[in-house]
């Protein structure tokens, strides 16, 4: 696997992980976890709202 495809696969895995955890927090109504995951995504340069069409945070 080339370096570029490894990087792309890693980024996709990070997005997938964030989305799964965000969805679980949203289903549980856990605003603090949703906020923390949004901060994590921002730190990693990932915008959750552009991935899943929602606005993360306190909604």
The per-residue pLDDT for 51 is 54
User: Which residue reads 């370096």 in tokens?
Assistant: 3
C-alpha to C-alpha distance for 55 and 27, rounded to whole angstroms: 14
The per-residue pLDDT for 1 is 59
Model-wide pTM > 0.75: no
Helix axes 31-44, 3-28, angle to 10 degrees: 160
Are 34 and 22 in contact by the 8 Å Cβ rule? The answer is yes
Q: Average pLDDT for consecutive 10-residue bins of the chain (59 residues)? A: 78 91 95 94 81 49
The DSSP H or E segment spanning 57 is none
Please report, for the chain, the start and end positions of each structural domain, with discontinuous segments joined by +: 3-52
Q: DSSP character for 55?
A: -
């Amino acid at each position: 696997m080339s370096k570029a495809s490894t990087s792309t696969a890693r980024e996709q895995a990070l997005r997938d992980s964030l989305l799964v955890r965000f969805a679980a927090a949203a289903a549980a109504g856990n605003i603090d976890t949703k906020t923390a995951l949004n901060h994590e995504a921002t730190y990693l340069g990932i915008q959750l709202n552009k991935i899943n069409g929602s606005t993360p945070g306190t909604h």
